[in-house]
């Protein structure tokens, strides 16, 4: 794979050839032009990862070329080559959308470093755009990554989403269990219904039953009116029970009855109510340790784990780190109105002699 596609523009043909030769030796694919008009036409025919152009040229100069690219193809980064006296112009150009500038005569290794960063940023944006397209096609839930593990995860979600059975989602803290649950809901036939998330670890045992199943007026002191619980609120949709390993044993039996009989009873009420809901539960581990310690019912586990989805931790898909960095940096930049940050380029092995071009 090419290190990057560079569109190089310089009216000094000797410098143009020397730079093009060095970049090609260094692993880049280079299209070299001594006139900006021809370079721009080439860019319209075939995209490049980076445009690198001199500022001062006869006819269309580098600043005009920059303006045209920003206006018509603003995703392509533009790096300006400047003489010593043009630094102020280059700084102004960066405010108008240039990616970076390099002073002539430039250090060849520094040039490679600047180009690597620009190519990485360009490819990161393209990959994020591609993944966002996949997200839109798969129900609008962003599961970022393109590693084999994440592609398999997306495939399993697509396979199970429209099968109306309960699912146990297993994954370490921070791996995205709720994202997976939301993706299952959005791609299911229940997507028009509510998605109700409940963190079992955050709910005190004293109010758990009332919150989950609801209560009738007078069921306990302070119950001044009937109240619908989470299962009823999720009717026709999906309920997500996060950190289910934290659920008290006494309440696990009640959840088991819901799964078996698809009915609930409000606290203080004698008659059952139908529970038309899909149950998705999440745990940090496969629950075998909790079952062995007597803290989790084995029958509830087998009822929930008829089908499970296991989310790989990031250490098993390190190729997704750059995409995740770009995704969260983009979200933060938009939220706080700041410029987007790019992921550091991958470290490259091997040393090259320092040269001047």
As averages over each run of 10 residues, the pLDDT of the chain (357 residues) reads 89 91 93 92 89 90 89 87 75 84 84 90 75 53 80 92 94 92 93 94 83 86 85 95 91 92 90 93 92 94 92 89 78 73 46 43
Domain ranges of the chain: 5-110, 141-312
Contact 264, 258 (CB under 8 A): yes
The matching CATH number, chosen from 3.40.50.920, 3.40.50.2300, 1.10.1040.10, 3.90.1150.10, for 5-110 is 3.40.50.2300
CA 123 to CA 173: how far, in whole Å?
29
The answer to whether domain 5-110 and domain 141-312 are alike in fold is yes
Q: What is the pLDDT of residue 351?
A: 39
Q: What is the pLDDT of residue 353?
A: 42
Q: What is the pLDDT of residue 207?
A: 83
151: which residues sit within 8 A by CB, 6+ positions away?
A: none
Cα dist. 72→60, 65, 91 in Å? Answer: 16, 11, 21
Q: What is the pLDDT of residue 196?
A: 95
Q: What is the pLDDT of residue 141?
A: 53
Beta-ladder partners of 196? 239
256-272 as b/e: b if 16+ CB within 10 A: bbbbeeeebbbbeeeee
- Find out if CATH 3.40.50.300 is the number for domain 141-312: yes
CA 213 to CA 134: how far, in whole Å?
37
Q: What is the pLDDT of residue 323?
A: 78
Q: What is the pTM of this model?
A: 0.60
């Amino acid at each position: 794979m090419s290190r990057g596609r560079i569109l190089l523009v310089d009216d000094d043909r000797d410098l143009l050839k020397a730079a093009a030769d060095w970049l090609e030796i260094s692993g880049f694919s280079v299209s070299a032009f001594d006139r900006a008009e021809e370079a721009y036409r080439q860019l319209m025919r075939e995209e490049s990862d980076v445009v690198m152009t001199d500022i001062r040229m006869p006819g269309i100069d580098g600043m005009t070329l920059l303006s045209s690219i920003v206006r018509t193809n603003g995703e392509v980064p533009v790096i300006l080559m400047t003489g010593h006296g043009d630094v102020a112009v280059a700084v102004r150009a960066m405010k108008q959308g240039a990616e970076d500038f390099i002073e002539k005569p430039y250090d060849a290794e520094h040039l490679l470093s600047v180009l690597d960063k620009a190519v990485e940023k360009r490819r990161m944006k393209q990959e994020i755009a591609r993944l966002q397209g996949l997200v839109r096609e798969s129900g609008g839930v962003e599961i970022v990554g393109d590693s084999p593990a994440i592609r398999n995860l997306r495939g399993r979600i697509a396979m199970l989403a429209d099968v109306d059975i309960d699912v146990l989602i297993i994954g370490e803290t921070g791996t995205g269990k709720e994202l997976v649950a939301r993706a299952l809901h959005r791609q299911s036939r229940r997507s028009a219904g509510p998605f109700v998330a409940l963190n079992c670890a955050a709910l005190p045992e004293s109010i758990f039953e009332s919150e989950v199943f609801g209560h009738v007026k007078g069921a306990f002191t302070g119950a001044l009116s009937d109240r619908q619980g989470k299962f009823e609120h999720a009717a026709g949709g999906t309920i997500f029970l996060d950190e289910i390993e934290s659920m008290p044993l006494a309440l696990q039996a009640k959840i088991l009855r819901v799964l078996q009989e698809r009915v609930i009873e409000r606290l203080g009420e004698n008659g059952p109510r139908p529970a038309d809901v899909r149950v998705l539960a999440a745990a940090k581990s496969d629950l075998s340790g909790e079952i062995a310690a007597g803290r989790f019912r084995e029958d509830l586990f087998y009822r929930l784990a008829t089908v499970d989805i296991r989310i790989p931790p990031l250490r098993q898909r390190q190729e997704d780190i750059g995409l995740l960095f770009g995704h969260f940096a983009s979200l933060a930049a938009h939220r706080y109105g700041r410029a987007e940050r790019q992921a550091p380029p991958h470290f490259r092995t091997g040393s090259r002699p320092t040269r001047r071009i």
